Structure formats: C-alpha cells, structure tokens
Structure 1
C-alpha cells in the first residue's frame, strides 16, 4: 500500500462528496483527488442546484435525504454559510394534473417528508410572479432548498482536506488495470500513480476513462440550461422554489431575480469524446448558442404561468452537460470484473441533490460496510456491452431529460 492509494478522479460535487465521506471515516490520509482544472469548475458550478427530497424512487429519496444530513454536518463543522437557502418547494398545477400532486404528497408522507396543501392566495404569497389562473392546486414542501453549488462543493473539499485529503491539479489520461484489478492511473504528462482504489468521478467525461476498460457507462451528457431574469420586485429573495409539472418547468429565487428552466422537447446531447476540458466556450447547438430558440419554443407554455417573461429582460443564460441515463437511475457503484474501481456519475440533472448520498454509498462500498441503499439499480455495468456513443443511445438519454418533471 502506497502513501495515497485511493485516487478520486474529478473534483466536482461527486468527487468532493466521496472525499469528504472517506475522510470522515479516518481514510483522509489515503485519499488523493485529481482534478485537471479547478475544483467544481465544470458542470458543478453551472448547476441550478435545487435540493429536493420528493422523488418517485425510494432509493433516490434516501440519497437526497443524506445530502441534507451532509449539509447540516458541514455547516456545524465549518461554522459557516455554505450557500444553503431553505425556502421550500411549491408544486403547482392545473386541475388536470391534480393526481400528480397528490402522488407526490403521498410519497412524501410515506417517507416522513413534510408537506401542506395551500390555497391560491397562500401559494401566490410564496411565488407572486405566478399567474393565478395558471394553476388550481398547490402543495408545499417546506424543507426543500437550493444551494450555491460551488460553495457546497468547495466546503466538502475543505472539510476533507482538514482531515488529511490531498488535492492535485493533474489530468488523468487513463486508468491502468492489471489482471482484473486497478493498478493506478496514467496522467496526461506521462507520469503514473499507483493505487488500490480508483473512483471515476469525472462527470460528463467519465466514459472516456471507462469505455477502454470494457465498461461502457449507460449515460450521456445532455444539455442542461437555465435563464436568469432581470431583477424585479415580484421576485422575493425568500420566495419558494416552484415546480410546474404540467409544463415541465422549474424556478427559484436568484438574488432578487428569477432563475428558471424548461424541459426542452428535443434536448441537445453530446458525444462525451467531443467535450473540451474547459466548458467556457462549449455549446451543444451552434445554431442556438445562447438558448434563444429553445426559450422561444417553450414560451408558449411558460408565459401563461410567468407573464413577466413577456416584458422582463434576460440577464444571464447558463448551460452545461448533465449525464442522463435511459432508465433515470444513477451510475454509482463498484465496477464489475475490475476490483478496486468505482464509479460516481449519472446524476440525471440532480447531482447536487444526490451528492451526499452518493458520497456515503461509495464510501461504504470502499470500506466494505453495508450500503445504506441498494446499489443494484445504479450498478455501472447494468447495461452490459454496448456502444455509449451510438446515436440511438444518445437519443434515449436525451429523451430521459425531456420527460423529467421533478426537481
């Protein structure tokens, strides 16, 4: 065993969460995080960062609940604000979608998640920008929140470093395997680092390290995007997160403005091999680099709910890759047939929500502890041998985003 025999490839939210979890259990001196740019500089810093526990899948509820516990631990440990804003989540819908809201409230109740039904006036008090005629029913989940993703990820890393974890600016070229188990990694500069455990937390780039090992990961980077309006008095800073399942839209406060996103009907998807290391200049669709065409496509549904869209300016547009899977399960767990290799990816647009749970699960698997959730649904090798760059597979991943209605 060498000095740093647990290598985490990627310093985004999942890599940071795994490092923190391992450090909490006394393994910090063995952990080295390898990040080619700055920690949390990739997709993490571009996330809308809604943290929602209300899900259709019980395992994913457990992952999200662990994230809330992790945030509370961090806040207590560091004694500082990590960017969490507990404003609650308002799910609003017309009468045609009442059953959707009822199902969400029932799932929440079954898992001990607080909720309350609001009348129209109560709902509008939490989201005064909503058009009253755009919804008939509203259910409110008071414990849901959002977070500043860069602050959250770097807080995880700082707490891990305080327990002995090291971070190094290095690009991993490939994972080296010898006789069925990991040997280490080869870096872009030609150096090699030996390791007994490797965690592939490379996010949208994870398949570039995995495919050559005979482990294609069942996910693809799909465009996630959102807009931020100009500030206006109708957007209270403590306003609620809003989810509109009938039109597959969401919104949250953003410093006196409104951050909002819509699920495009045909999301753009990329071949992971084409993604640059630095996302600053990357666009999924050169014909719509600023997202205006996509916003116009969704405006016919969004404007009746958000009338100010017709008069307010758009201050910012952000986009980035989020790994989606056709079955909407994560890609998290031990690699089959390669001892010592673990994968933490496939967030399906909810990476910030699941980060604490993913960190805990990977940490338990590495330590040989009983996992707190069943790892089988998210098993990295569950699809077997296939081509993760094939056009039909990429289309299936894009369709998974198009059909997403939760946070």
Structure 2
C-alpha cells in the first residue's frame, strides 16, 4: 500500500527544509521531506558561501532577501536552536566606473526598506581597516548582514519541522513524479510510492529531468561553484574577524569561517558543468592559489596566509539568474522552488514562507513572489538586473555569479 502525505517536499537542502518547516508551522497536514542523500544539506547548500546580505541589482531579489533577514536575527525565537548567524556587517565594493550604478541600486534597496547606505573610502577604512581602499571608491554597507552556518541552518529548519509533526526521510531518492491527467498526485521513491495532494520540488538541478518526464521544460542549466578556506591572520582572529565582503574590484566574495579561517570564492568560479560527469565536486588545480591571491589584494593581511581547504558544488542556474517559485501553468498539485542560481541560502527563510503560504492559503504574503513565476520566460517577463563590472583579470565578466 502506498504511503500518504498531504504535502511532499523533494530536496533536503536549506530551501526544502525551510519549506517543510513553514508548511508544518502553518498546519498543512502531514508533511514529508525527502532527501536523496544520507544527510541534509548534501548538495549545493553544504558548499554554500552562506552569506546573509540583501544587496541585489533587481528589486524582487532584494525584497526577498530582506524578508529573510529577521529569521536569521531571531532564529532562536522563531525556529529554535542556532543557525550560526554572525552579524559581521556587509559591504559591496565596485569599480569606480560603477559608482553611479551603485548609488542607483542603494536607492532602490532603500525604497524597499533595506537597512543599507553608501560609504566613502574614509568611512570604509574605519568600518574595516583591513580592506585596501583607494580615495574615490564607494561601497554599500549593510549593518544587519553577515553569514550563517549552512548545515546548521538546514538541520535547524528540519528539526523544527519535525517538532511540528513533519516527517524527514533521508537516503530516499525520488525516482519520478506520479501524474493523473494534468495533476501531480505523488512521488515514486526507491522505497515505494507516496501519494500527496501537493508535491513541492526543491531539489535544484535534479528537478529538470523529473519535470521533463511529465512534459514540463524548466530553463535550468547546471553550473559548478568553487570556494576555498584560507588561514586568517592573528590580527583578524575571532568570530567576527572582518566584514563579510563582495568586492567586484578583485572579483571575490569573502566572509569569516569559524574563528581562524576565512572563506573566499571568485566571481568567475561558477561555470557551466555537466553534473552527471562528477565535475561538479572537482576543484580546479589553480583555483585555491588564485582565490588566495585575490583575497590578499583586497585584504593585504592575508598575503602570507596558507590555503586550508577547497570545495566545489552544483548550482542550478536560470537565464536571468533568479529562482523559479510557485505553480506551473497546466499542472495541478505541483509547486516549484528551484533555479536558485547560487543565491538560495540567504533567501531560504522567506522562500519557504512564500511557498507554504501558496499551498495553505492560496497566496504568498511574506514577500513579493509574482516576479519569480516559473513560466515568466515564455511571457517575456525575465527579471532584469544591471550587473557590476568585475575586475581581477581578463577572464572575469559582467555575467559572473556572486552570491
């Protein structure tokens, strides 16, 4: 006999765990979270930079990220336990030729209600003395931003979902969706069939083939993202260590990791990659040294720091680099939360709330979700962003992913 659930959530990363939590919290009935691996956060989430920041160059993403910030700040009260959130503050630096663009983006974010402001070189040196800054350079500063622990965040959501009577099943890959007419009626897993009124896909790149089997084509391409851990100099030790930074001058993003390491990734390190080849988890040989050198250019105190570890993981990337959220035209009983394009972690609390509200209440109020319509590309409604130029070398481009 088939198992039964009111809602099945496929994908045990931070987005799927958040959705399961919010569904259970809102009383969606019997909620089951399925993860293909033996542990949660085994895919993109576990290798995430886990930045918590709101600086985006389009309003929909900025609003979604801003709606998530209070969840990280008030995690113990809202979810329980700790997500490892450290409120270091965040700065976005750009090349001088993009100063006017930065001003425009900060003005847009302030209209959304985001706590952000422009800082000049003098104030930036005060906020973060370790940064190499030249006169005339500008940055956007977010005092409430920082970083969190991606695994602790995912496990925290899942544990809270279970306290609200949700079921979490690990090592249970979903093989296919069940469909009757135009309605998705459940999933087939390696352990059997689970009938459900609603299925939510939050399984990243793996959703593409699953959806193709029922005639739904989603515009997602697989990418590989790389990052490395570097020894932090004694002058910057401690949990808050230094600001969380995206530096377009040098093509990096960076934030503290623990008390004595710093995580760094490159703007150009997200590249198309066939995930079935195993390449998604492979780190390029030259990547760690290149990342450390770029970090030292931005924060000279790292000039003599050693590389400690490196990792790579899969991303599911859409044409406009924005996620696909909500129902699909012509298919009942199905909700999507895929195509995160490397930016899902910081938005996950708000995305989970939005999808749960769609399922339980029929509309989302936690944040504006309409721009993320999965069918927007067939309607000419791609989300428009005006990206910053990226320095650091000829291989960089305006299309680089930094999340």
Q: Same fold (TM over 0.5)?
A: yes
Aligned partner of 1:370 in structure 2 is 363
Pairs aligned (count)? 381
Q: Which runs of 5+ in 1 are unaligned?
A: 276-281, 386-398
Pick which of 172-181 and 62-71 moved more. 62-71
Give the counterpart of 2:261 among 257, 263, 288. 257
Aligned partner of 1:242 in structure 2 is 245
Are the counterparts in 1 of residues 266 and 402 from structure 2 also a CA contact under 8 Å? no
Are the counterparts in 2 of residues 94 and 134 from structure 1 also a CA contact under 8 Å? no
Are the counterparts in 1 of residues 267 and 402 from structure 2 also a CA contact under 8 Å? no
TM-score normalised according to structure 2 size: 0.85
Aligned partner of 2:189 in structure 1 is 187
* Corresponding position: 1:360 with 2:339: no
Aligned partner of 1:271 in structure 2 is 274
Instruction: Measure, in 1, the Cα distance between the counterparts of 2:12 and 2:293.
Output: 39
Are the counterparts in 1 of residues 327 and 374 from structure 2 also a CA contact under 8 Å? yes
Are the counterparts in 1 of residues 317 and 340 from structure 2 also a CA contact under 8 Å? yes
Q: CA distance change for structure 1 residues 72 and 331 in 2, over 3 Å: closer, same or farther?
A: same
Are the counterparts in 2 of residues 46 and 320 from structure 1 also a CA contact under 8 Å? yes
* Corresponding position: 1:293 with 2:296: no
Are the counterparts in 2 of residues 324 and 400 from structure 1 also a CA contact under 8 Å? no
Aligned partner of 2:108 in structure 1 is 107
1:145-224 alignment to 2 at 5 Å?
145-169=146-170, 170-189=172-191, 191-224=192-225
Aligned partner of 2:373 in structure 1 is 379
Offset of residue 400 of structure 1: 12
- The two structures, once aligned, show a CA RMSD in angstroms of 2.9
Instruction: Measure, in 2, the Cα distance between the counterparts of 1:202 and 1:353.
Output: 17
Offset of residue 131 of structure 1: 2.3
Aligned partner of 1:342 in structure 2 is 335
Deviation digits for residues 160-219 of structure 1 (CA, Å, limit 9, x no counterpart):
111110111321100011111012111124x21111110111122111211111112111
* Corresponding position: 1:403 with 2:403: no
Offset of residue 108 of structure 1: 2.6
Offset of residue 13 of structure 1: 0.8
Are the counterparts in 1 of residues 116 and 143 from structure 2 also a CA contact under 8 Å? yes
Q: CA distance change for structure 1 residues 284 and 88 in 2, over 3 Å: closer, same or farther?
A: same
Instruction: Measure, in 2, the Cα distance between the counterparts of 1:92 and 1:178.
Output: 51
Secondary structure at the aligned position of 2:272 is classed as coil
Secondary structure at the aligned position of 2:236 is classed as coil
